[in-house]
Amino acid sequence: MHNSSEGPGAAAARFTGLAVTGERRLSTALTEVTLDDGRVVMAKHGDAERATRAEAAGLRWLAEAGSVHVPAVHGRDARWLVMDRVVTGRPDAGAAERLGRELAALHASGARAFGAPPPGGPEDASIGLAPMRNVTGPDWPHWYAEHRVLPYLRGAVDGGTIRGAEASVVERVCERLPELAGPAEPPARLHGDLWNGNVLWGADGHAWLIDPAAHGGHRETDLAMLHLFGCLHLDRILDGYQDVAPLAAGWIDRIALHQLFPLLVHAVLFGRGYAEQALAAAGSALRS
């Protein structure tokens, strides 16, 4: 049994089987570790076993699709996840268009159900700092309402971030989801937390995806997340995606619907500014 006070270098050595020649701490959770063969890996500290388990399972599930670029996982336990480092370069329009095609292929590789966790991943996972339950539902509208929108609406109301009287606009969206959701689609294999901070532009000319909250969902959700905080060369990403797997008519009008989930997560975590954005997104979804 490994030592519970083990540091990042010792964890990297244990999972890679190589000696460590250097460490560079990047944040409270992340350390670059140099191995004696010259490679550099990332040791990420998890605050709970479910966090490292979910991230490792998500990265492996995305990698299994054979489309998007994600860091290889060397190993994980209750405290540490050790994976390859991505050497970053400059954002590139060609890489963005390739990412769009790769995302289309990732989504098409599918999931066993809406809400399904990655193989080996826990039901009780997380998105960023918030808990996220990966439990399945029979169709996307009902599952999205029950397991992605309403839990965070309740959390925001309980925390005083959204007033009780304001919640009704989000509840109306949930009631109308079957008609707002667009054509039925099969469960897609989602990254699940695809904001621009989780897209790294590699020095190798590829876009790399990190920090997934992977699960089976609707493919438009990943693309709506890319829109949420802005992403470099987003138009080229969408061009590449549409070349491979055209989106259903009206998808632009559904962006706000898919952004409701991450905005409510942010409202629970970070307060009133995001609550107002979530309420505005709900109103926009109802008008679409």
Query: Residue 234, SS3?
Result: helix
What are the Cα distances from residue 7, in Å, to 18, 24, 37, 43? Answer: 15, 12, 20, 9
∠ CA 83-47-74, rounded to 5°? 15
DSSP state of 88: B
Q: Please give the Cα distance from 208 to 230 (Å, whole number).
A: 17
36, 47, 139, 193: which is the annotated catalytic residue? Answer: 193
**Annotated catalytic, 193?**
yes
Cβ–Cβ < 8 Å for 61, 119: yes
* Exposure of 67 in the CB half-sphere (CA atoms within 13 A): 21
Read off the amino acid at residue 208: W
Please tell me the total number of residues recorded for the chain in this structure. Answer: 288
- Residue 80 and residue 8 in contact, taking contact as beta carbons nearer than 8 Å: yes
CA distance 263 to 253: 17
Bridge partners for 80 per DSSP? 45
State both tokens at 286: 């109802």
Q: Which helix (H) or strand (E) holds 94?
A: helix 93-108
What residues are labeled active site?
193
